[in-house]
Structures are given as C-alpha cells and as structure tokens.
A and B are shown apart, each in its own frame.
Chain A
Amino acid sequence: MAGRSAGKRVSLDVQVLQTSASLENLAVACYASAARLPTIRDGDRALATFIARTRAHHAAHAAAYNAAAVREGGRPQRAPDPRYAGAVRHALERLTGAPSVTSLASIVSLLEALEDLKAQSYVRYASLTSPKLRSLLVSVAAVEAQHRSFLLATLQLLSVGAEGLIEIPTDPGELSGVIGVECFPRAFYSTAGASAVDEGVVR
C-alpha cells in the first residue's frame, strides 16, 4: 500500500511515521497552549509540571518519528495533524475564559482524549508497518497510555473533590476507593478510534 506525497509514491511505513509525527506535533502545540491557560499557569503545580514534562515527551516522539521517516526515504512532518488541529484549537480557546473548576476538568479531559487517540493509533499502526518500526510505535503507545492513565486518575480525583491529592508525592492512603480500574479501563488497548494512516502525510 502506498500513497502520494508531492507527486511521489510514499511507502506505508513513511505514511505511518509522518502521520505519527503530525499527531505528536499536535500534542506539542496543545500542551503548550494548555500551559498558558490561567487555570494551569496560576493553578496546581503538579499539573503544570506534568504538562511541561509531557510536552517534552511529545517533542521527543515527534523527533524520533521524523528521524525514522527520513531513514525510510521520506520527508519530516513538521505540521500538526490536520484532522484534529482546528478542533483542539477551538476547544482551548473556549476554555480560556471558563470558570477555573470547569476549565481544569475540561483541559484534563481534552489532554486525556488526545493521549488516547495517539495510543490507539500507534497500537493499530504496529500491526500494519514493517517489523523494525513496531517496537518504536508500541514504546510510544505505552508512554501515551501512561500519560492517559495519570490524566484519568486526575479526573477521578477532581470528580470527588480531591484536588489536593493531585500531587507528586501524593498520599497513597488517601487514594482509597478512588484510584483503580478507572485509570486503565480496558484489559486490551482499543484501536477503534485510530487515525487513518495517511491522515498526516506531508502534502
């Protein structure tokens, strides 16, 4: 299977890598915007730290995907995923003036959805690419899933009014009854919401 990019046929591996890089570029932009929102900038220090560190993780993922794309004879993808970029930007704009409690849960939900989208996509792509790329894809999927797991825990804590436990270090004894399967809701990672492989190819 091969697509077209600027008049050239592009291998499936390059399509997957460019789309993966575009998803990471979207995440970098999203986390950067989230960090500037008053709710995060002036709010909980643990979340602000998480957002900064996670943004750096996504930048590293984008760099790794682009390096692999170049090794495979493709061009690096510097743009964000076109399918979701507008929706994410609008969502963040809406949150700028929202009340802080609403805004915080909504920001965390948005980031959680983005991590889930990326993890689902990479799990799916691992079954489509050549074997040499699979470990990279699943390694990144595992890291996105970890980001998502912490964000799900944060949502759980927000839902029961336990914002004070969103700290690192936290108080594990106080997490009773709150933290559990909600933070890893399925035994097998879904791929039903994966992005199309050619969604983020360099045009």
Chain B
Amino acid sequence: MNRRAGATGGVPELAGTALAGVVGRRAFVLGLGGVGACLAVDACSGADPGRSAASAYTGDYRMMALAAALENQAVSAYLALRAAVGRDARAGRGSGRPGGSGSAFARLADACARQHAQHAATWNAILRAAHKPAVAGIPLSGRLSPVNAARSAATLNDAISIALRLEVQAAETYIVAVSSLSSPAGVAAAASIAPVEAMHAAILRFMASDYPVPASFVVTTDAASTSDLRL
C-alpha cells in the first residue's frame, strides 16, 4: 500500500508498512528524542501512582499509553543488560556473567533496544497527534522490576530469560490490543509491531538453546493489561 505521507513528511523507518503516512516525521522524531532523553537521565518514573483518577488516557489512548510504557521498559531493560555485558567484558570475566560468552547477546540487545525505541516513538507520535501527552519513563505497576532484574543478571541465561519475558509480554499484549483498538493507526501499529517482538523472542530462544517457535499460535496469558498502567 502506498498511502500519502502526512504534511510533516514520511518516516523512512515506516516505509512499506501499514503505518506509512499515518505517523508524521516530526512526531516520530520527537518520540525518539523523548525515549533517549528519558533513558539518559534514568530517572523518568512516569506519573504518580495515585493520579489514575484523572487520567488523560481513556479508551484507545489507554492501550496506546500502555504500549508506549512497555516499549520504554524494554529499552531500559536492554540497556541495563547491555551494561552488564559491557561491565563483564571490561573486567575480563568468564562465561558465568553475561559478558563472558555474551557478545552475541550484546549485539542482539543493541538491535532490539533500537527497535523498541522506534516502537515507543510511534506510539507517542500517535498519542501526540491526538493531543495526548507522550508517555515518558515506565509508568507501570511494579515498573522497575524487569529493569532491576536486568541490572543484576548473573548469567547469560539470566539475561536471555529477562529479555525473552519482556518480548513475549509485548507480543501478547499487541495481539490482545489489536482486537480492542478502534483507531486505524493503533490497529496498524499493533499489527506491525507484534511480529517484530515475536522475532526478537524467536532469536532469544535460539540463543537459549530452546526451540525458536514453540507453538502454532501465540497464547496471550502473559499479556499486560491497561490496569497495569499508572497514568
């Protein structure tokens, strides 16, 4: 499909996807910058948990905000895992820690983190286009637990396991979301991102020496819920 790009210009990363022309360049770039700035200070914690009564996000926008928060969480977790790998590589440690035999994982983590940042930027671009605030940080219940776990990953298998849980949860969340969203941009985004999260998961399983495609269909028992959102 070749939808015309919006007034702000096309986004090269979205060319050839169902999102082409739906997400404007300026909003997308703003979203990427937001992810970077948030992660640079590593202190963006999202809104206060007690603010849910007057949330700016209702209906579709609540699901989109959840998606942005999950993507921010994935970026933070991968960066933490990457840092653990780098720390061990510099220390010259053996295979017990992620860096020991984990340079393949580090390369994978970098690639996954970049793609998750693009996903977050897309969700935030859609939110901004609807005059909703972009989601910074990880405003989720239990929001830092995967990131903290990533920081203290003790082995390569730990690192892969943490990353895999995040990827599986994201893919499952999008598979649930795609049937509940009514916005065409939201449906296109969820449908376009879910397979990419699933690809990340398949390669992580391969690296963990597990079968890469465990079932004919993706079950959704671990999908995140909008009730997890603290906004």
Contact residues of A with B, CB < 8 Å?
Answer: 53-54, 56-57, 60-61, 64, 119, 123-124, 126-127, 131-132, 134-135, 137-150, 153, 168-170, 172-173, 175-181, 183-184, 186-192, 194
Contacts and interface: CB of A to CB of B under 8 A. Distances in A.
Nearest to B121: A187
A60 B216 contact: yes
B75 interface: no
Given A176-B107, A188-B13, A191-B17, A142 B95 contact: no
Interface stretch (B41-49, B62-70, B145-153, B187-195): B187-195
A141 to B, nearest CB: 5
A140 B156 CA distance: 30
Contact of B211 (A153, A168, A175): A168
Interface string B165-209: 000000100111011101010011111111111111111001111
A134 to B, nearest CB: 4
B192 to A, nearest CB: 4
A137 B14 CA distance: 21
Contacts, number: 189
Contact of B203 (A132, A183, A190): A183
A180 B108 contact: yes
Given A131-B180, A170-B209, A144 B18 contact: no
Contacts of B40: none
Given A175-B207, A191-B1, A127 B218 contact: no
A187 B118 contact: yes
Q: Which 4 A-B pairs have the closest CB atoms?
A: A169-B209, A173-B101, A145-B195, A142-B198
A168 B196 contact: no
B76 interface: no
